Amino acid sequence: MDDNMLLNLALDAGEIMLISGAETHRVEDTMERILSRGGNNMPEAVALSTMLIVSIHSPLSGSLTMT
């Protein structure tokens, strides 16, 4: 799975969780777990009630961030 697909997967999962009423810290934890499974260093996720942000650092692609 390429890095863009992994970022999109994490964002989709986070969006579903927020819509379902999950707490933001649980959403962040889940997104970071998804991102770390791709073998990426330093996965970061921020969940607010109105926005999701995910970021990874890949040796091949460098830093990637999506909202």
Question: How many whole angstroms separate alpha carbon 35 and alpha carbon 15?
Answer: 15
CB 35 within 8 A of CB 54: yes
Tens digit of each residue's pLDDT (9 = 90 or more) over 8-21 = 999 999 999 999 99
CB 3 within 8 A of CB 58: yes
For the whole model, what pTM was predicted? 0.91
Q: Can you give the pLDDT at residue 34?
A: 95
Count: domains in the chain: 1
- Local structure of 39: helix, strand or coil: coil
Task: Tell the residue number behind the tokens 């607010």, with chain if given.
Answer: 48
Domain, as residue range, for 51: 3-66
Which residues in the chain show pLDDT less than 50?
none
Q: Can you give the pLDDT at residue 21?
A: 97
Q: How far apart are the first and last CA of the chain?
A: 19
